[in-house]
Amino acid sequence: MPRPWVRLLAVLGITFVLVLIARSYNVAARIQLSWPLAVHPDGADDGAQIPLHSKPPTKGAFKAGQAANTAPGAFTRKIVAVGDLHGDLPNAHKVLRMAGVVTEDWHWSGDVDLFVQTGDIIDRGDDTIKLYDWMEALRAEALTHGGQVVSHLGNHEWMNVIGDWRYVPQTEIKTFNGPSARQQELMTGTIGRRWAQNYSTTSRVPLHPSLGEVNTDYDPSNSSPLSHAAISFVHGGLAPSYPDLTPFPSKINSIAHSLLHKLQHRNPPPAPHPPNPYPGLTHDATTAEHRLYGTDGPLWYRGWAMEPEQKVCAVVDSVLQKTGTRRMIMGHTPDFERIVSRCGGKIVIIDTGISHAYGGVLAALSIEYSLTPLAKASASDAKRWTEREVVTAVYLDHQDVLAVSEREIEGSF
């Protein structure tokens, strides 16, 4: 019979050996290889985990605001897109600064033409009010520089107007002075009115001004070589099975506008869940409005991020065709190491878990477009052009070129 101290030594010894083994296999790093995703209230994607990729990023220096092409007569447009920010103002500033959208002192730099944010500014962190205030300040500053801020509602903005507060930290509620003040603010208060007025659920952003303003509907009768020179942005994804893709983007945005109005003017407003029961959509919500908030709707869909490559690449062109776009850019499903490009850059997923709530990598997507007259022709009488689009993932210490498309086209633009 061993004495108690011998048993204790044996236990300590075994523990020590187990710790050594765990360290050598880098168990901690492996445990972080997946993260529970926000769960749709219907629970359809309950327990889903995000796989991570292990491809090492290529190194290189990124100069903020560098031009893709500065030849005389060239039209250039630079778009920067950033994914889920989840209540982290300092990290949001680092990312926008790194990508050249803002200056060190938080102002619009004037170095980019469009800044796109794909939703989920709220939840999991405390800086909700500060982030929405900053976005509105940037929107106004951008306009005075001839730039534009394009903002989207993510599933978390929608959850909060529904009364689904499962991912709201108690410390964040204090910044609003309590739950009822918070609810009022998100319904018909300042933030709620901004959502209704200056945020959309999806957008179509033109690469060239001949396609019109942001959110001009795709016209399927347009036979110009630039008919699809646009990019769609959405929080979750534009699923091939989703019935209301067209006309794009106005169909989705008008359904969303109507649903948002119903939810924000619900009287009395629903008691937050938890601890109260999940309130769901308003009783008068239409089938299309339920579908918008469904698991294959634009706010929750994860198929482009999680389905196998062969499957997504077989159907991506059908959605690009219908929406009059070349690429689809979305957040929602994070990869904590990098921006994910699939099917040669036709699908780009930009949620990298920027908020300290996740501790992912700080990343932004840069799209540099140029249309340059060929030979000596001036821009006004040119008939032949080189069109070029460079899509780059930008990180603090390096950049990754995800896609380069270049071709010659003919026409007057």
Ligand X SMILES: *[C@@H]1O[C@H](CO)[C@@H](O)[C@H](O)[C@H]1NC(C)=O
Q: How far is the CB of 145 from ligand X (least distance, A)?
A: 12
Q: How far is the CB of 197 from ligand X (least distance, A)?
A: 4
Question: Is the CB of residue 98 less than 8 Å from the CB of residue 362?
Answer: yes
Q: Hey, how many other C-beta atoms are within 10 angstroms of the C-beta on 400?
A: 19
Q: How far is the CB of 175 from ligand X (least distance, A)?
A: 19
User: Which C-beta is closer to ligand X: that of 54 or that of 197?
Assistant: 197
Task: Give the contact letters, 35-54, x = binds to ligand X (CB under 6 A), - = no.
Answer: --------------------
Structure tokens at 224: 């110009």
Q: How far is the CB of 198 from ligand X (least distance, A)?
A: 4
d(CA 66, CA 370) in angstroms, rounded, equals 13
Report the SS3 class of residue 83: coil
User: Which C-beta is closer to ligand X: that of 76 or that of 198?
Assistant: 198
User: Are β-strands 327-330 and 202-206 bridged in parallel, bridged antiparallel, or unpaired?
Assistant: unpaired
Contacts of 265 (CB under 8 A, 6+ apart): 187, 188
d(CA 13, CA 2) in angstroms, rounded, equals 15
- Torsions phi, psi for 253 (to 5 deg): -70, -30
Contacts of 86 (CB under 8 A, 6+ apart): 120, 121, 122, 123, 124, 125, 156, 354, 355, 357, 358
Quote the Cα angle for 196-197-201, to 5°.
Answer: 60
User: Which C-beta is closer to ligand X: that of 150 or that of 319?
Assistant: 150
Task: Tell me the β-bridge partners of 407.
Answer: 387
Task: Give the contact letters, 201-240, x = binds to ligand X (CB under 6 A), - = no.
Answer: ----------------------------------------
Q: How far is the CB of 149 from ligand X (least distance, A)?
A: 8
User: Which C-beta is closer to ligand X: that of 52 or that of 196?
Assistant: 196
| Number of residues this chain uses to bind ligand X (CB under 6 A) | 8
Structure tokens at 345: 């850059």
Q: How far is the CB of 143 from ligand X (least distance, A)?
A: 6
Question: Is the CB of residue 329 less than 8 Å from the CB of residue 348?
Answer: yes
Contacts of 56 (CB under 8 A, 6+ apart): none
Question: Is the CB of residue 369 less than 8 Å from the CB of residue 77?
Answer: yes
User: Which C-beta is closer to ligand X: that of 108 or that of 167?
Assistant: 108
Residues 169-208 that bind ligand X (CB under 6 A): 193-194, 197-198
User: Which C-beta is closer to ligand X: that of 151 or that of 341?
Assistant: 151
Residues 315-374 that bind ligand X (CB under 6 A): none
User: Which C-beta is closer to ligand X: that of 139 or that of 182?
Assistant: 139
Question: Is the CB of residue 312 less than 8 Å from the CB of residue 62?
Answer: no
Q: At what angle do helices 190-198 and 128-144 cross, to 10 degrees?
A: 50
Q: How far is the CB of 343 from ligand X (least distance, A)?
A: 35
Q: How far is the CB of 244 from ligand X (least distance, A)?
A: 25
Q: How far is the CB of 190 from ligand X (least distance, A)?
A: 7
Using CB atoms within 10 A of its CB, is residue 161 exposed (0-12), middle (13-18) or buried (19+)? Answer: buried
Task: Give the contact letters, 79-118, x = binds to ligand X (CB under 6 A), - = no.
Answer: ----------------------------------------
Question: Is the CB of residue 184 less than 8 Å from the CB of residue 236?
Answer: no
User: Which C-beta is closer to ligand X: that of 198 or that of 254?
Assistant: 198
Task: Give the contact letters, 115-154, x = binds to ligand X (CB under 6 A), - = no.
Answer: ---------------------x--xx--x-----------
User: Which C-beta is closer to ligand X: that of 166 or that of 194?
Assistant: 194
Binding site for ligand X (CB under 6 A): 136, 139-140, 143, 193-194, 197-198
